[in-house]
C-alpha cells in the first residue's frame, strides 16, 4: 500500500507509536511481576524501581498459595469451566444439528428464539435464576455455578451456522450407512466441526474462568471459590498490607489463560472475536 520510497521514515514512526502503546498495555503486567518479586520493604517505599533489589518472588508465591489456598481455587476454576464447556457442547450440538440439517415443525420459531436469546445480557436473568436455584436448594454448590450456563444460545447459533456449511451429502451418506440421527451428531458433525468447537471452547473457557459476577452471587463457602473470587477475597483479607503476595496471587490466576493464549494465539483470537460476531 505504501510506496517503498518513504519506507524507513514511516516504518520507524510506526514502531515508535506501537511500542509506546504496547508499553501502556503491558505496564500493569510488568508492575505486577515486579511487585510480586519484591519484599515488603521495597514495596512500601515511595521510591520507584522496577527491578527488585531483593528477589522475593518465591516467598510471595508461597505466602499466596498458603494464605489464599490457591491450589483449591485453581482446581475449582478448572472443574467449573470444563464442566460448563462439556455440558454446553452436549446440549448445543444436537440442537444445532437439528436446526441446520433436519426439517421439522417449529424449526424457524426455535431458531428465532435462539437469535432472540442472543440479545439477552447475562445480568438480566440473574435475579430470577438465583431465586430458582434457591428454591431448588442448590445454591452454594458447583451445580449452581454450572447449571445456568449449560445453555449457550451463542454456542447453538455458532454451531448451526457452521453445520449449514457442511455438505448434506455427508449426512446422507451416514444415513445410508445406517447411522442413527443421534449417531450422526457425534460421529459425523462433531469431527467436522472441530475448528468451530475449539473456537467456541476457548471463548467459553475464557469467559467462565474470568467470570466474577455469578460466582459472587451464588457462593458463600470458601472452598468453592473460583479464581476471580479468590483474588477478591485475598485482597479484602490483606487490605493493603501484603501487596507482594497479592500480586503473586494475581499472577497465578491469570497465568493459565495467558500461557494457553501464547501457545495457541490464533485459536484464541478467533474464539474471542466470535463474541464480536455475536
Partner 1 sequence: MSDNAAAIGGIIAHPAARKEATPRRSRVSLTPYGLVAPALTLMAMMLFGPLIGVIALSFTDYQLGAPSLSWIGLGNYHEMFADRVFWIAVRNTLVYVGIVVPGAVTAGLLVALLIQSGTSLRGLYRTIYFLPVMATLIAMAVVWEFMLHPQFGLVNGLLREVGIAGPSWLQDRGTALYALCAIGIWQAAGFNMILFLAGLVSIPKQLYEAAEMDGASSAVARFRLVTWPLLRPVTTFVVVISGIRSFQVFDTVHVLTKGGPSKSSEVLIHTMYTEGFEFFRSGYGAALTVVFLGFILILTLVKARLADRGAQYA
Close Cβ partners of 152 (under 8 Å, ≥ 6 residues apart):
88, 91, 92, 200, 204
Q: Of these, 78, 79, 82, 126, which contacts partner 1 (CB under 8 A)? A: 126
CB 54 within 8 Å of CB 238: no
Q: What is the DSSP string of 68-125?
A: H-HHHHHHHHHHHHHHHHHHHHHHHHHHHHHHHH---TTHHHHHHHHHHHHTS-GGGG
Q: Of these, 79, 86, 117, 140, which contacts partner 1 (CB under 8 A)? A: 117
Nearer to partner 1, 82 or 232 (CB): 232
Cβ at position 236, least distance to partner 1 in Å: 9
Q: Is residue 115 a contact residue for partner 1 (CB under 8 A)?
A: no
Q: Is residue 113 a contact residue for partner 1 (CB under 8 A)?
A: yes
Q: Which is nearest to 57 in space by CA: 28, 41, 73, 33? A: 33
Binding pattern to partner 1, positions 72-101, x when CB under 8 A? ------------------xxx-xx-xxx--
Binding pattern to partner 1, positions 226-245, x when CB under 8 A? -xxx-xx--x-------x--
Cβ at position 99, least distance to partner 1 in Å: 7
Interhelix angle for 57-68 vs 7-36, to 10°? 60
Q: Of these, 125, 164, 165, 187, which contacts partner 1 (CB under 8 A)? A: 125
Nearer to partner 1, 45 or 62 (CB): 45
- State how far the Cα of 75 lies from the Cα of 108, in Å rounded to an integer: 41
Among residue numbers 206 through 225, which ones bind partner 1 (CB under 8 A)? 206, 209-210, 212-213, 216-217
Nearer to partner 1, 15 or 53 (CB): 15
Close Cβ partners of 252 (under 8 Å, ≥ 6 residues apart):
61, 64, 65, 70, 74
Q: Is residue 8 a contact residue for partner 1 (CB under 8 A)?
A: no
Residue 8 CA, distance from chain mean position: 40
Nearer to partner 1, 191 or 240 (CB): 240
Which letter does DSSP use for residue 138 in this model? -
Q: Is residue 268 a contact residue for partner 1 (CB under 8 A)?
A: yes
Cβ at position 276, least distance to partner 1 in Å: 5
Among residue numbers 37 through 76, which ones bind partner 1 (CB under 8 A)? 43-48
Q: Is residue 1 a contact residue for partner 1 (CB under 8 A)?
A: yes
Close Cβ partners of 100 (under 8 Å, ≥ 6 residues apart):
159, 160, 161, 163, 164, 166
Among residue numbers 134 through 153, which ones bind partner 1 (CB under 8 A)? 134, 147-148, 150-151, 153
Q: What is the CA radius of gyration of the chain?
A: 24
Nearer to partner 1, 25 or 51 (CB): 25
Q: Of these, 123, 164, 165, 194, which contacts partner 1 (CB under 8 A)? A: 123
C-alpha cell at 261: 493464549
Among residue numbers 162 through 181, which ones bind partner 1 (CB under 8 A)? 176, 180-181
Amino acid at each position: 500500500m505504501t510506496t517503498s520510497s518513504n519506507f524507513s521514515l514511516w516504518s520507524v514512526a510506526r514502531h515508535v507509536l506501537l511500542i509506546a502503546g504496547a508499553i501502556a498495555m503491558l505496564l500493569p503486567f510488568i508492575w505486577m511481576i515486579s511487585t510480586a518479586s519484591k519484599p515488603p520493604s521495597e514495596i512500601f517505599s515511595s521510591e520507584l524501581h522496577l527491578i527488585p533489589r531483593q528477589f522475593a518472588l518465591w516467598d510471595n508465591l508461597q505466602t499466596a498459595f498458603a494464605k489464599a489456598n490457591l491450589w483449591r481455587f485453581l482446581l475449582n476454576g478448572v472443574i467449573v469451566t470444563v464442566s460448563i464447556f462439556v455440558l454446553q457442547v452436549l446440549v448445543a450440538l444436537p440442537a444445532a444439528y437439528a436446526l441446520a440439517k433436519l426439517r421439522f415443525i417449529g424449526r424457524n420459531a426455535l431458531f428465532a428464539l435462539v437469535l432472540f436469546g442472543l440479545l439477552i445480557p447475562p445480568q438480566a436473568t440473574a435475579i430470577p435464576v438465583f431465586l430458582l436455584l434457591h428454591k431448588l436448594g442448590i445454591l452454594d454448590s458447583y451445580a449452581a455455578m454450572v447449571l445456568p450456563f449449560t445453555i449457550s444460545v451463542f454456542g447453538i447459533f455458532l454451531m448451526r451456522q457452521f453445520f449449514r456449511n457442511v455438505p448434506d451429502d455427508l449426512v446422507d451418506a451416514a444415513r445410508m450407512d445406517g447411522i442413527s440421527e443421534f449417531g450422526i451428531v457425534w460421529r459425523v458433525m462433531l469431527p467436522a466441526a472441530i475448528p468451530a468447537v475449539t473456537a467456541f471452547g476457548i471463548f467459553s473457557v475464557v469467559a467462565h474462568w474470568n467470570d466474577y459476577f455469578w460466582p459472587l452471587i451464588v457462593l458463600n463457602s470458601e472452598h468453592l471459590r473460583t479464581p476471580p473470587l479468590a483474588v477478591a477475597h485475598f485482597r479484602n483479607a490483606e487490605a493493603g498490607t501484603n501487596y507482594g503476595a497479592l500480586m503473586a496471587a494475581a499472577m497465578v490466576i491469570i497465568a493459565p489463560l495467558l500461557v494457553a493464549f501464547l501457545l495457541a494465539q490464533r485459536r484464541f483470537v478467533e474464539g474471542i472475536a466470535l463474541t464480536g460476531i455475536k
